[in-house]
Structure 1
Amino acid sequence: MPSPQSADRPAAEPPERGQVDALISQTRRLRGGIDAVRREAVASAEASDDPRLHWQRALCELAAHHADDLGEQLGQLRAGLPTSRRAGAGSGTTASAGAGGGTSVSAGARGGTAARGAGTATRVAEDDRAGGDGDGLTAGNGPTTPGRVGSAEWNLLTDEVAWTDELFALFGRRPEDGALTLDELPSTLLEEDTGLLTTMVTDCLVDGKPIDGEFRIVRGDDGAVRTVHMMGEPVLDADGCTSSMWAVLRDVSDLRRFRQEVHETRDSAHRRRDAARTEHRLAVELQEAVLPPWRGSLRLPQSFPAGPEAPGGGVLDLAGHYLPSSTSSLIGGDWFDAMELPGGRTLLTVGGLTGRGVAATSTMAMLLGAVRGMAVSGAEPGPLMGWLNHLLESSAQPALGSAVCCRYEPASGTLLWSQAGHPAPLLFRDGAGRALRPPEGVLLGAMTDAAYAQTEERLLPGDVLLLHTEGLADRAGARRLLELAPRFAMADTAQDCLRAVLEEFGDKEREDDACVLIARIGS
């Protein structure tokens, strides 16, 4: 194909072959590194529905696409001037925007044709690298899929049109059918894009502006719609008049698809992140609204007079704490609670629900409200658990839960308690600890009309009662809790006991949320 003599610069000299070979080798190494990262990204994305992983995969595909494009262009540059197929005289290209989307030219074209030489190949490679919109081909080996990058020249003096083989393949057109003139080119475009092409070509031929734009074509062989990026310039004769126009056309359909995937997965990740932040905030606010408002120690019952008739001195020293999961940003459905009941009694309860987020915390708020209401009405722990089971089973948001509910009578020092598939309270006395023997009780929501037994335990002044959810400690952790008995014996307050628990378990990596409630019997 004739080498264009640019309107603003002479044709570039081709680079030395050794320099191109070095660039091709570097591109191959880069492509190998991208492949390694892409394989890992693909595996991670296929194993998860996290939009961030799919976004990373799309970015890897986009990077590989650019590396392939660079390899193809360097391969073409090393191969030298591409073979052109010429058609005879066209349809009389004249200079103005013709009707019906055709493009005609009348720019006073006259003068000789542009000098031939290797500059065309250099210009094509140079502009391809600058455009950065090529398609995925193997670095340094030339095109493996025909028709993705092609070039053309339309001679306004002789009406000759020169297309490379790749351009014929790009348009899905047979070389024997001849190259398309500028008047015929719009017939291959989608109707809504013909005006854009007409404007670009007219600006190039009449005003000498470079072409740089995209349009969609319908391929002639298979009818597929492809997005094509076109870059070109007018070529001036010795008198400064337009004698021809050259252009490089690239199929960027896959690139646009990759970019769209990147944008969509990024936007999806942002939406999911914003939704997660909103849900987290709502769950935290709901949790803070229903869990005990006190921090540190609380002394209950506050109105019961201390005296020798009250073995516990009439006072429970309380401390509680909520520990969030270290592996999830969503709040779970765990709770702890302590409140004064009529007659000087005290309610102690801890529990947890399956699930996370607003659904779990809202169900937790419903259950905790029910526990408080039934306890105030005088319900004992066993029947109370049965009603909670029925409430959770018939809830619009089914879930499973575990809980322990205790009612402490300070006048007699009696602890009446029941449990539903929950770790038993731990009792510490005289420097030793043990788990209370639990009464029968299944998980809340697991069985219709389940019955829950209750049992009594006599508490003495100086005793420490520890209630916790499963997230704080498993069976091995429960043994470690019991080993804190000597520290509890030396503690002066429930807050001191809680501090010892947090020193032992607070920094632990935990998958679930956890709650702990400590009651120290006054002496």
Structure 2
Amino acid sequence: MPSPLSTDRPAAQPPEGDQVDALISQARRLRGGIDAVRREAAADAERSDDPRLRWQRALCELAAHHVDNLGEHLGQLREGLDGHPLAARPEADTASATLTGQPPAVGPQGAGTAEPGAPAGRVGSAEWNFLTDEATWSDELFLLFGRRPEDGPLTLDELPSWLLEDDRHVLTAMVTDCLVDGKQIDGEFRIVRGDGAVRTVHMMGEPVLDSDGCTASMWAVLRDVSALRRCRQEVHETRDSAHRRREIAQTEHRLAVELQEAVLPPWRGSLRFPPADPPAPAAPGFGGALDLAGHYLPSSTSSLVGGDWFDAMELPGGRTLLTVGGLTGHGVTATSTMAMLLGAVRGMAVSGAEPGPLMGWLNHLLDAAAQPALGSAVCCRYDPASGSLLWAQAGHPAPVLVRDGAATSLRPPEGVLLGAVTDAAYAQAEERLRPGDVLVLHTEGLAPRPALERLPELAPRFSAASGAQECLRVVLEEFGDKEREDDACVLVARIGS
């Protein structure tokens, strides 16, 4: 049955593939423009020793990295959570492949990525002259480190003391490779600013050689990428969390389905109660054996399994138990609670409990359960010898009785929802059934209420049906393909002669 506190809303829709492809195309064009500016800046830098030209070239490199990162995320968006290589390799940089069609280039420390609209102090430049042992810093770099300009720039010997101890070897390795082997610098480390704040810094640079080919100085561009790294970490964590949630949901769904299949009636098609041959003689004009057919209908808007049930079983003395019901909620909790209630119904019915007191005990059981829930149910005990149908209900739709081509809902005895009121009392009513009568029991989720009002219109087809299975087919043809927000159960009983 649907929860009275349902808060279902339409799920957010993913972006259209054409929109993402258009963004990727724009990013490719932007990357091409940056490459053109970068080549020009690199040519100018080679013809001049002006540090501003090297600064421009470094900024072009950072801009290219930034667009590559944009292409990476657009590629993730297009491929989806499962299809993108990052699902298996979080550190892989696929930006180049996305924007340029070339194999991805993965640096030793990952690509440095600029943050959009970075204010002053988020990126700065430095040059260390090994011939004069001088260091030159831009004003922005002093802001990045939280250091006063009057204190002077840090030398390469002093710089490691500002790094976290675990990251000092990273800087040492980069500087050594640059000085000894002439390699470019491209890596990240964490610094402790003058105000005590820890920031992640990406450093790019290269050696400057003298006329003899020896390293005369080293320049670098340093950018604060702390916020970007936090965003990346959040993306990875939320992606992993989504995978875990989906795996848990799949496991819970499988358990709920298996539990439901284990407790619902195993029979398919018609079932006849009592099965004894010959049956006990019925009172003239009343009673007769039951021809039964039942069906479970899953929700059409959700893959979650609910707590609806239907059941029929033979009781001592030739009587028959008929019951349908449902609980609020979905998943393993609702299904396991349903299994507990259905087991209790069967046990108490076999012990001889009448439907009214049985409902009271079910209410107490649900009220005392560890997982609070609300439920509705109808429970009937049919005696084929007398044709007596003794029944009770708990906030549930009354059974529909079809007789002589006309349908009416039985007048329900008093009964509130299970689990709603402690120590609630449940009345019971009695109906005499005749050969040829059809009794239709269903849960609330079968169809919206306006659609269910058409159920009596099916009475002529029920009366003309040859058995319960054909009657059930009539119900499914009418309501089986309806949009249902919750799962539903139907149980049809036809009184034989």
- Give the aligned partner of residue 123 of structure 1: 57
- Give the aligned partner of residue 220 of structure 2: 247
Query: Is 2:421 the counterpart of 1:487?
Result: no
1:198 maps to which of 163, 168, 172: 172
Name the stretch that deviates more: 454-463 or 169-178: 169-178
Query: Is 2:429 the counterpart of 1:432?
Result: no
CA change 1:380–1:230 in 2 (3 A) is same
- Give the aligned partner of residue 233 of structure 1: 206
Seq. identity, %: 76
Query: Is 2:159 the counterpart of 1:159?
Result: no
Offset from partner CA, 1:481-503 (integer Å, 9 cap, x none): 11211221222221222122122
- Give the aligned partner of residue 364 of structure 2: 390
8 Å contact from structure 2 (residues 447, 483) kept in 1: no
- Give the aligned partner of residue 137 of structure 1: 116
Letter in 2 for 1:255: L
CA change 1:194–1:428 in 2 (3 A) is same
Secondary structure in structure 1 of the residue aligned to 2:434: coil
| Separation (CA, whole Å) in 1 of partners of 2:304 and 2:168 | 52
Pairwise mapping of residues 216-227 of structure 1 onto structure 2 (< 5 A)?
216-220=190-194, 222-227=195-200
Letter in 1 for 2:404: D
Offset from partner CA, 1:224-266 (integer Å, 9 cap, x none): 1100011111122222211111111111100000011111111
Query: Is 2:272 the counterpart of 1:264?
Result: no
Letter in 2 for 1:316: L
| Separation (CA, whole Å) in 2 of partners of 1:370 and 1:299 | 23
Secondary structure in structure 1 of the residue aligned to 2:246: helix
| Separation (CA, whole Å) in 2 of partners of 1:510 and 1:219 | 59
8 Å contact from structure 2 (residues 400, 408) kept in 1: yes
CA change 1:264–1:173 in 2 (3 A) is same
Tell me the matched-pair count: 423
Query: Please, which runs of 5 or more residues in structure 1 have no aligned partner?
Result: 1-46, 54-59, 82-112
8 Å contact from structure 1 (residues 280, 357) kept in 2: yes
Name the stretch that deviates more: 470-479 or 482-491: 470-479
| Separation (CA, whole Å) in 2 of partners of 1:307 and 1:342 | 13
2:435 maps to which of 458, 461, 464: 461
CA change 1:359–1:429 in 2 (3 A) is same
Offset from partner CA, 1:53-112 (integer Å, 9 cap, x none): 9xxxxxx9xx9xxx9xx99x97xx89x99xxxxxxxxxxxxxxxxxxxxxxxxxxxxxxx
Offset from partner CA, 1:376-395 (integer Å, 9 cap, x none): 12221112112222222222
Query: Is 2:444 the counterpart of 1:470?
Result: yes
- Give the aligned partner of residue 331 of structure 1: 305
Larger Rg belongs to: 1
8 Å contact from structure 2 (residues 287, 383) kept in 1: no
Secondary structure in structure 1 of the residue aligned to 2:340: helix
Letter in 2 for 1:182: L
8 Å contact from structure 1 (residues 324, 513) kept in 2: yes
| Separation (CA, whole Å) in 1 of partners of 2:369 and 2:281 | 47
8 Å contact from structure 1 (residues 471, 512) kept in 2: yes
Offset from partner CA, 1:179-216 (integer Å, 9 cap, x none): 22211211211222222211110111011122111111
CA change 1:285–1:487 in 2 (3 A) is same
- Give the aligned partner of residue 450 of structure 1: 424
TM, length-normalised to structure 2? 0.78
Query: Is 2:252 the counterpart of 1:279?
Result: yes
8 Å contact from structure 2 (residues 127, 219) kept in 1: yes
Letter in 2 for 1:120: R
| Separation (CA, whole Å) in 2 of partners of 1:213 and 1:356 | 50
The CA RMSD measured in Å over matched residues stands at: 3.0
8 Å contact from structure 1 (residues 301, 314) kept in 2: no
CA change 1:307–1:227 in 2 (3 A) is closer
Query: Is 2:273 the counterpart of 1:300?
Result: yes
8 Å contact from structure 1 (residues 52, 266) kept in 2: no
8 Å contact from structure 2 (residues 115, 225) kept in 1: no
| Separation (CA, whole Å) in 2 of partners of 1:137 and 1:377 | 74
- Give the aligned partner of residue 327 of structure 2: 353
Secondary structure in structure 1 of the residue aligned to 2:300: coil
Displacement of 1:424 in angstroms is 0.4
8 Å contact from structure 1 (residues 312, 522) kept in 2: no
CA change 1:279–1:376 in 2 (3 A) is same
| Separation (CA, whole Å) in 1 of partners of 2:404 and 2:481 | 28
Secondary structure in structure 1 of the residue aligned to 2:381: strand
| Separation (CA, whole Å) in 1 of partners of 2:300 and 2:424 | 34
